[in-house]
Structure 1
Amino acid sequence: MKRRSLIKIAGAAGAAATVPALGACSGGGPGTGNVGNAGKDLVPWPTYVPFAGPQPDAPGDDTVGVQPLYLNYPAELKQAVAESPGDGSEVTAMVITYEAPPKPLEQNSFWQEINKALNIKLNVVVVPDPEYAQKMTTLMASSGDLPDIVMFNNLNLPRRAEFIQQGFADLSDLIGGDAVKEYPGIANIPTYAWQSMGRIGGRIYGVPLERPLPANSLFVNRTRLNEVKAPVDWNHDQFLSAMRDLSSARRWGTGWYKTLFTGLGGITYHAGANGAPNGWSLQGGAFTHTVTTPQFEQALTVMRELTSAATHYPDSLTASSTDMQNNFYNQTVASLPNGFGALALPNLQKIGGKFALELARPYTAQATPWRGGGNFGFAAFKKASPERIKMLLRIVNHLSSPFGTTEYELINYGIEGKHFTKADGVITTADLYKTENSSILPIRYIGTAPTVLHLPGYPDVAKAAHEWEKAVMPNSVANPATGLQSATNSAKGAQLDQILGDGIAAITFGREPVSSWKDTVSRWKSSGGDQLAEEFAKEHQAA
């Protein structure tokens, strides 16, 4: 995250925690702050009804996070939605973006076709990644009207759960349990994505944006790694040697675009590679945080070794994630921690065959690769009449249509003959797709289908990713605190993350020795970390 973004968050967080305007937001009223689930009647998770789609070339395994592999595009598609979901009205959605702004509606044939398919006028408010935290903080502190749909990512902001509880629709009776069967696209979202999103006060307030279970992974330039004879299965010394050999004038081995703990960017791969628990560990009903373990401290040691050897991009701490991804695509850096969802067609097209993309394997035998929560966030709906909430659910249901349907094809590839062509099981995108797609017009952050491994034109990348998942994911570990509520986390989570983030950055970039980490952990524990552990334990028992 950019330094100025961190300053904005720190300043705004103190204000947002005390702002009384939360009760003045749309549909609000004095908040109870009672967002926990302990002692509540818990709404059942939506019943999982998987879509009977095309047979994959290689099966997946939901239990560990291996995705089904599709080398060819289905010859026959099913229709997922019988009729357009909308009522012709305007719908405004606020979403994050990592791309340039989309072309205006009147110049954007993809946007026009999406509006036609949904039977609405969709107004998409796109907020760049570095500004999203500030935009969300402003929205939470405002007494003005809310967008119809707000995409909440996994950024930890003060009183977020209370804000959602007050201003957004309780969807429990509409999609809890078997009720979700009215929305087959939403029912096709796996249970792990709902559990990761979590309940608030025992209720369901959003629809998750499913993502693969691998957490932030280390994307590497295999072409450059081959030049320095780096093995695929490497050990600690071989990894460090490769990063040193790769680094030269204006070209670096590593790029830490989010070194802070809040982003889980630079630290995730190394923590898992060294056997650290994923966020928290749970034993005998007690929660212990990963930052208190010697394995996590060893991960910090590796990161310090990398920066000491000058293998890192010099502006890693201040460059935005978008800038660092571009640095990876243009080969300024040879490795980059990134969300697994970055393994996508638009990004492969940015690489353009200049190098072979690969996912790095851990470098120790005791590795515990971190498993993600299974969602990128969720879409919540502003409080409104039951009829309008049902319409918004139908819209998200449509956008969540699964792989193997005509709806999925439009959402992910655009209009046949204009944005893409298909023949012999292969989708080939046209030049127009580069400027008109669901990443640039980020409707994938309103509703999205469960992901499969299908990369048109890049079957070797898809097969390699599937082999990586089969090799790495069986040893992966989940975070037992995922989806659990905590009053302390709601009120002080961002401040606690800041303590850890500052400590990680200070050690990684040499301002403090690794031995200073114990002081950082002590400060975190006394500032609320110990309370987090107690509250998560109670929530886990209730869930």
Structure 2
Amino acid sequence: MSIEMNRRSVLRTAVGVAGAASMAPLLSACGSGSAVKSGANTKKGVTSAVPAYTANTSVKPDIPSVSFANGAVTDPGFLTYPANPVATVTGKPGSGGSYTAVTPLWGAVPQAGNSFYTAVNAALGASLTMHPADGNTFNTAITTLTAAKKLPDWVQLPTWWNQTFNTGELAATQLADLTPYLAGDKVKDYPNLAAIPTGAWKCGVWDDKLYGIPSFSSGTSFAGMTYYRQDVFEAKGISASEVTSAADLMALGKELTSASAGVWAFDDVWTYLQPAFGIANKFWIKDGKLAHKYDQPEFLEALDWHYQLAKSGSVHPDALAGKNSDAKARFYAGKVLIEGDGTGAWNLADDQAGKAASKAYRRGAFPLFAADGKSTPSIYLGTSTSFVSYLNAKLSPAQIKECLAIANYLAAPWGSAEYTLINYGVEGTDYTMVGGVPTFTSEGQKSVQQQTFPFLATCQEVISNPGADQLTKDYTAWNTATAKYAYKSVFWNMNITVPARYSTADAAQAVEDTVKDVYHGIKPVSAFQEAVSTWKKNGGTTLVEWYQTNVMDKYGTDQ
């Protein structure tokens, strides 16, 4: 059964290449001095540059989006794939132009000129020559092109590579300014682009001008959650909703663990349990001033709790040893019953793999709770997208308009006729309908499933797992229940160029290594405090001061 590659699955693939730090909200560290464009934006400038949002109603979801006062908008849910996909674009968007596009690809490169490419170009009315590049070395390849000023007509620049590409400066010199074509109500000429969440567009704004087109955007982008084996819990008469504090979770861990039977309650949960303790994404505001998360009392509290967890005997020995490659197998086999993971872990492929190990398998996620059991839960919103494509500044206004019309086609709603072609190809050649689900043929697996066009533009993410209705209902229910507690983290969706001299302090790798040793029970919490002290002396304090002076004081903390 096929599953289109969505933002969550793309991120899970990319994170293995770029590292977990790359999934943090967009705080790009690039540039090398005053000659480099800052990339920072004013609130007024961003508001003027981004397109006006207009929801697309051409495809009706089974589980509609829910909007909250805090700005969170849940991704819609679909239980079935539309039997008769509707067309959202009239005629062919292109006018015969020819363009080259370079996108990252984690997988086998499709054969050039294959039937899928031919079919898409015929529908577009233009020649879009795709050049997928190895995602593992993509940053190096693009850096070479930018240095030589030989960028293709259209290129995908993932946001976590902004430092490598120096995107802030690149925008001002080699990328097309899309503000005159898309800002405000001008986007009405491209209704599918208008339906992309506003937050995602902000990720492509540099120096108060819109340059980027988002892909795989979400209205509720959470880093991940703390999962549990719902089928096992139910068999034991345990309800996850009974866990309303960190103390409850610790006690549950002891109850579930039986080392003699080869069962431990926990795998690693540090990364995705942090919201329970109120840990900020990177910065927080203390007495009106910017402060780093390492200075949060909650950070120490969380580390101390995890250190105790590691020493409690409730964590699988391989997890404590950092052997994460087998984490999924441990979870499927029931050797661990609670794990932390990204949102991309909750999908059809996981459900199928779990059921292959245990027919009763059902993944669940703990309802959001506050560690003290008293405070109102909270969770920060992640960046609205990590994938932004750009057009070459050398294109003429007519060519830019043609590419935007093509982008509008590519961004058609999930389940539409355009979406079906771009994501599954031609029926009978690239896919067939099996049980109401588009399923790749051998040809489609080679040419379509690797994905290329969606890295140029896509609609808002949806939650859909055809054939696994309960999974989709579980996920959308958790997402909606969680979204009401969401808040925008400091510098949410802001593009910030940090001078290269601060890059080491910005990464803080030595501190993160110590954090890992603490939550694995190898080092005491005092080792973390010592590491932070050293980090501050070696640039950490100066880094925070730079953000305070050059970003917060000038531009605020939210755009």
TM range (shorter): 0.7 to 0.9
Q: Secondary structure at the match of 1:193?
A: helix
The answer (yes or no) to whether the contact 1:268–1:370 under 8 Å persists in 2 is no
Listed one character per residue, the Cα deviations across residues 23-43 of structure 1 (whole Å, up to 9, x for unaligned) are xxxxxxx95424223498554
Unaligned runs of 5+ residues in structure 1 are 10-14, 21-29, 257-265
Residue 298 (structure 1) aligned with residue 297 (structure 2): no
The answer (yes or no) to whether the contact 2:179–2:210 under 8 Å persists in 1 is yes
- Matched to 1:82, the amino acid is T
Residue 539 (structure 1) aligned with residue 548 (structure 2): no
- Matched to 2:63, the amino acid is A
The answer (yes or no) to whether the contact 1:156–1:494 under 8 Å persists in 2 is no
Listed one character per residue, the Cα deviations across residues 306-330 of structure 1 (whole Å, up to 9, x for unaligned) are 544442645986868xx86687678
- Matched to 1:200, the amino acid is W
Listed one character per residue, the Cα deviations across residues 255-279 of structure 1 (whole Å, up to 9, x for unaligned) are 65xxxxxxxxx65422101122343
1:383 is aligned, of 380, 383, 393, to 393
Residue pairs, 1:57-136, within 5 angstroms: 57-63=62-68, 64-86=72-94, 87=96, 89-97=98-106, 100-105=107-112, 109-118=115-124, 119-128=126-135, 131=137
Structure 2 Cα separation of the partners of residues 414 and 96 of structure 1: 18
The residue that corresponds to 1:24 in the other structure is: none
The residue that corresponds to 2:543 in the other structure is: 528
Range moving further from structure 2, 55-64 or 175-184: 55-64
Listed one character per residue, the Cα deviations across residues 137-162 of structure 1 (whole Å, up to 9, x for unaligned) are x4487335223333233326534422
Q: Secondary structure at the match of 2:192?
A: helix
Shift of residue 184, structure 1, vs aligned partner: 1.6
The answer (yes or no) to whether the contact 1:278–1:478 under 8 Å persists in 2 is no
Residue pairs, 1:219-230, within 5 angstroms: 219-226=227-234
Residue 146 (structure 1) aligned with residue 151 (structure 2): yes
Residue 274 (structure 1) aligned with residue 274 (structure 2): no
2:364 is aligned, of 345, 349, 358, to 358
The residue that corresponds to 1:340 in the other structure is: 343
Residue 180 (structure 1) aligned with residue 187 (structure 2): yes
For these two proteins, the number of residue pairs brought into alignment is 507
Change (3 A) 1:5 1:427: closer
Change (3 A) 1:316 1:339: farther
Structure 2 Cα separation of the partners of residues 252 and 133 of structure 1: 40
The answer (yes or no) to whether the contact 1:381–1:389 under 8 Å persists in 2 is yes
The residue that corresponds to 1:52 in the other structure is: 57
1:409 is aligned, of 417, 420, 429, to 420
Structure 2 Cα separation of the partners of residues 71 and 193 of structure 1: 25
Structure 1 Cα separation of the partners of residues 337 and 138 of structure 2: 28
Listed one character per residue, the Cα deviations across residues 408-434 of structure 1 (whole Å, up to 9, x for unaligned) are 2223344334523167xx425356498
Change (3 A) 1:153 1:250: farther
The answer (yes or no) to whether the contact 2:425–2:444 under 8 Å persists in 1 is no
The residue that corresponds to 2:432 in the other structure is: 420
The answer (yes or no) to whether the contact 1:102–1:435 under 8 Å persists in 2 is no
- Matched to 1:281, the amino acid is W
- Matched to 1:449, the amino acid is C
Q: Secondary structure at the match of 2:300?
A: helix
- Matched to 1:481, the amino acid is F
1:231 is aligned, of 221, 227, 239, to 239
Listed one character per residue, the Cα deviations across residues 353-410 of structure 1 (whole Å, up to 9, x for unaligned) are 6432333333534432232222233112232222333333233222111124211222
Unaligned runs of 5+ residues in structure 2 are 1-13, 23-28
Change (3 A) 1:154 1:420: same
Structure 1 Cα separation of the partners of residues 336 and 447 of structure 2: 26
Residue 203 (structure 1) aligned with residue 209 (structure 2): yes
Q: Secondary structure at the match of 2:437?
A: strand
Residue 464 (structure 1) aligned with residue 474 (structure 2): yes
Shift of residue 206, structure 1, vs aligned partner: 0.2
The residue that corresponds to 1:37 in the other structure is: 41
Range moving further from structure 2, 291-300 or 30-39: 30-39
Structure 2 Cα separation of the partners of residues 104 and 250 of structure 1: 47
Range moving further from structure 2, 485-494 or 87-96: 485-494
Shift of residue 348, structure 1, vs aligned partner: 4.7
Structure 2 Cα separation of the partners of residues 357 and 519 of structure 1: 39
- Matched to 1:376, the amino acid is S
Residue 454 (structure 1) aligned with residue 459 (structure 2): no
Change (3 A) 1:120 1:186: same
Structure 1 Cα separation of the partners of residues 258 and 390 of structure 2: 44
Shift of residue 188, structure 1, vs aligned partner: 0.9
Q: Secondary structure at the match of 2:463?
A: coil
The answer (yes or no) to whether the contact 1:85–1:391 under 8 Å persists in 2 is yes
Change (3 A) 1:247 1:237: farther
The answer (yes or no) to whether the contact 2:52–2:194 under 8 Å persists in 1 is yes
Residue 513 (structure 1) aligned with residue 529 (structure 2): no
The residue that corresponds to 1:261 in the other structure is: none
The residue that corresponds to 1:482 in the other structure is: 492
The answer (yes or no) to whether the contact 2:101–2:153 under 8 Å persists in 1 is yes
Shift of residue 350, structure 1, vs aligned partner: 5.0
The answer (yes or no) to whether the contact 2:174–2:394 under 8 Å persists in 1 is no
- Matched to 1:451, the amino acid is E
Shift of residue 75, structure 1, vs aligned partner: 4.7
Residue pairs, 1:244-283, within 5 angstroms: 245=256, 267-282=270-285
Structure 2 Cα separation of the partners of residues 115 and 395 of structure 1: 10
- Matched to 1:406, the amino acid is A
The answer (yes or no) to whether the contact 2:75–2:218 under 8 Å persists in 1 is no
Task: Note the aligned Cα RMSD (angstroms).
Answer: 4.0
- Matched to 1:446, the amino acid is L
Structure 1 Cα separation of the partners of residues 485 and 78 of structure 2: 24
Range moving further from structure 2, 442-451 or 332-341: 332-341
TM-score, reference length from structure 2: 0.76
Structure 2 Cα separation of the partners of residues 439 and 347 of structure 1: 18
Residue pairs, 1:295-334, within 5 angstroms: 295-308=298-311, 309=313, 310-311=315-316, 313-314=318-319
- Matched to 1:57, the amino acid is D
The answer (yes or no) to whether the contact 1:220–1:336 under 8 Å persists in 2 is yes
- Matched to 1:192, the amino acid is G
- Matched to 2:484, the amino acid is P
- Matched to 1:294, the amino acid is P
Range moving further from structure 2, 352-361 or 209-218: 352-361
Change (3 A) 1:459 1:40: closer
Structure 2 Cα separation of the partners of residues 352 and 463 of structure 1: 18
The answer (yes or no) to whether the contact 2:105–2:451 under 8 Å persists in 1 is no
1:162 is aligned, of 144, 166, 169, to 169
